[in-house]
Structure 1
Amino acid sequence: MHSRLHAHVGTMRRLEILLAVHDKESINEATKALFLTQPTVSIQMRKLSDTIGEPLYRYVNRKLVFTDVGLELVKTAVEVLDSFSRLYQTLGSMRELKSGTLRLAVVTTSKYFIPHLLGPFCEQFPNIDIQLYIGNREQTIERMKQGIDDFYVFSHPPKDIEAHSLAFLENPLVAIAHQDHPLAKQESISLSELCQAPFLMREKGSGTRYAIEQLFKKHKLQANIKMTIESNEAIKHSVMSKLGISIISAHTLTYGGQSGLVRLPVKELPIDSHWFFMWSNTKRPTLIATEFLEHIESNGKYLLLKELEKSASIG
């Protein structure tokens, strides 16, 4: 009996290693995250592959890419580890201890305010662990399809995935420019005028880009795209450097600082949108996930709005 239990514990560790390799997309990065040696991680991944009888990943242009079999194993690993996580949390709750891991995958723009939701929650439950994945819209959607995390945060929820959703915060998209830009001196600007200026656009797959393109399409206009940039922070610094104008989330402007930047009075803006929390409608939530959802719907939303007001007044 003891040897069989030991074998299962060994398999659990291999599944944890598998998820680390998948999340980091690298053997070397997974070793750093797990504080293991590279040979150890490679050996465990090879043993998993031998057990399954199929390769779990391959290298394409030096990039580690999981096979379909590997992705199926990732989904199963998440389910197995979630089941044990719920068991541990149940046992912990029985001892009046809230413990376990909360996993969130969020789009990059939301990284400015998500910590303000997590902070009070972690104060309330200091023994829990947080795994926060930050990626673009396409990466976050892929994680959602695989069911890796407890919650996912989008500004424009995917329509082809059945899931629960909660709109919890307005996310207006506004136009910005350097304070010395000619448009910054106008009291009113049309969208067509905005499209004539050099425009800094987010990368394909970004929720912000999707919203901007929908707006331009609605008005039959096309932006004068000068640069495509994969980071809101880089866009802000590029606008500060007078490389062009852009449209970004008002929260990005508020939380990240706005030295030298002004909000342009464009008639057709802001673009009205909301931030959404999404979670699986088929996956049983852990106790910690249930607690976090209650935190979002009640105290967390209130605290976040207060923090937004505070940041806006400072800015």
Structure 2
Amino acid sequence: MRYSLRQMQIFREVAQQLSYTRAADTLNLTQPATFAQVRQLEEHLGQKLIERIGKTLHLTDVGRLVLHSAQHMLEEVDNLDMALAELDGLARGRLRLSVVSTAKYDMPRRIGAFIAAYPGIDVTLTVGNREELMARFAANADDLYIFGTPPRELKAASRVFAKNPLVVIAPAGHALAGRASLTLADLARYPFLTRESGSGTRLAVERAFDAAGVSPEKLIELGANEAVKQGVMSGLGLSVLSRSTIELELRHGYLVELNIDSFPILRDWNVIWPEDKRLSRAAVAFLDGLADP
């Protein structure tokens, strides 16, 4: 064979993420090692699979063909692994999870409980924004996906497993802190920090402002929950985040939750999977455990 399954796995991740760095992080490899494996695959096949135009990676026509074959090939390997694992019950196996970035604060606790119950199961956790998870779903890259609001355009089965309230936050000592009956119009007078385009939290906040008929006078886009939290604590502006992401900061008084009439926005945490996908026993066990607090 001119190529290995490992090379196909690495190429699939790079092709899906269109980034050697992000793929290396997901695969727990270095960026040079990831790049070298893709180059070796190209040399074995005698074809260019990925090309760089400017700062962006693109799949060639051959690359798209190889990606399609790699997905089917690796899915069959996963099916074989699943069948062998099921012969052992839950003594061994693998579980692949993808979660939106807001869920990364709660999910490690749930994964820890699962691993304690099933130490033979290897768990892989990928964190991304809503659009990145939709791309992984389309590529059948994982077993289960955690969203705030399940994308309607995906053919997915879903299950609600927890509440996810979105709250308005301000730095300690802010002029609005402690005031009652505030509205979104009151917030609009202050700079507002928001997640990047593609974030489910940002989408929910935009809908809330649109429904109120107002918009912040100054909008500052930051690319991650941690950046938003640090920005609010430093007095850069106000924001909206999931309460689960700021529990520690609220408890220690670094942030305060504002009393806004239309908040909190009450949302659910949802776990989804392709509606025609046969879930492994590990995925079913994790799914059942999500209902536990």
Give me the TM-score of the superposition, normalised by structure 1: 0.82
- Shift in Å at residue 271 of structure 1? 0.9
Pick from 186, 192, 204: which aligns with 1:193? Answer: 186
1:104-253 residue pairs with structure 2 within 5 A?
104-253=97-246
1:1-315 residue pairs with structure 2 within 5 A?
7=1, 10-22=3-15, 23=17, 25-26=19-20, 30=24, 33-34=28-29, 37=33, 40-47=36-43, 49-50=45-46, 55-67=48-60, 70-71=63-64, 73-96=66-89, 98-254=91-247, 259-296=253-290, 301-302=291-292, 305=293
- Shift in Å at residue 143 of structure 1? 1.1
Q: Is the 8 A contact 1:85 1:286 kept in 2?
A: no
Change (3 A) 1:27 1:210: closer
Structure 2: segments with no counterpart, 5+ residues? none
Change (3 A) 1:113 1:226: same
Change (3 A) 1:281 1:174: same
Measure, in 2, the Cα distance between the counterparts of 1:112 and 1:165.
21
Q: Deviations over 1:229-270 (max 9, x none)?
A: 111111111111111111111111115665421100001111
How many pairs align? 289
Q: 3-state SS of the aligned residue for 1:85?
A: helix
Q: Is the 8 A contact 1:177 1:261 kept in 2?
A: yes
Measure, in 2, the Cα distance between the counterparts of 1:72 and 1:294.
37
Q: Which has the higher helix share?
A: 1
After the TM superposition, which of the residue ranges 59-68 and 237-246 deviates more from structure 2?
59-68
Q: Is the 8 A contact 1:162 1:280 kept in 2?
A: yes
Measure, in 1, the Cα distance between the counterparts of 2:256 and 2:139.
40
Q: Is the 8 A contact 1:56 1:70 kept in 2?
A: yes
Measure, in 1, the Cα distance between the counterparts of 2:44 and 2:108.
35
In structure 2, give the amino acid aligned to 1:178. P
Q: Is the 8 A contact 1:20 1:33 kept in 2?
A: no
- Shift in Å at residue 76 of structure 1? 4.1
Measure, in 2, the Cα distance between the counterparts of 1:256 and 1:78.
42
Q: Deviations over 1:55-105 (max 9, x none)?
A: 432112233333465356435434432332332333233245532221111
- Shift in Å at residue 203 of structure 1? 1.2
Q: Is the 8 A contact 1:98 1:288 kept in 2?
A: no
Measure, in 1, the Cα distance between the counterparts of 2:79 and 2:289.
19
- Shift in Å at residue 183 of structure 1? 0.4
Identity among equivalent positions (%) equals: 33
Q: Is the 8 A contact 1:100 1:128 kept in 2?
A: yes
Q: 3-state SS of the aligned residue for 1:239?
A: helix
Measure, in 1, the Cα distance between the counterparts of 2:75 and 2:192.
44
- Give the superposed CA RMSD: 2.7
Displaced runs of 4+ in structure 1, greater than 6 A?
Answer: none
After the TM superposition, which of the residue ranges 135-144 and 80-89 deviates more from structure 2?
80-89
Measure, in 2, the Cα distance between the counterparts of 1:196 and 1:187.
17
Q: Is the 8 A contact 1:112 1:256 kept in 2?
A: no
Q: Is the 8 A contact 1:49 1:56 kept in 2?
A: no
Structure 1: segments with no counterpart, 5+ residues? 1-6, 306-315
Measure, in 1, the Cα distance between the counterparts of 2:224 and 2:85.
40
Q: Deviations over 1:128-157 (max 9, x none)?
A: 222211111111111111111111111122
Q: 3-state SS of the aligned residue for 1:274?
A: strand
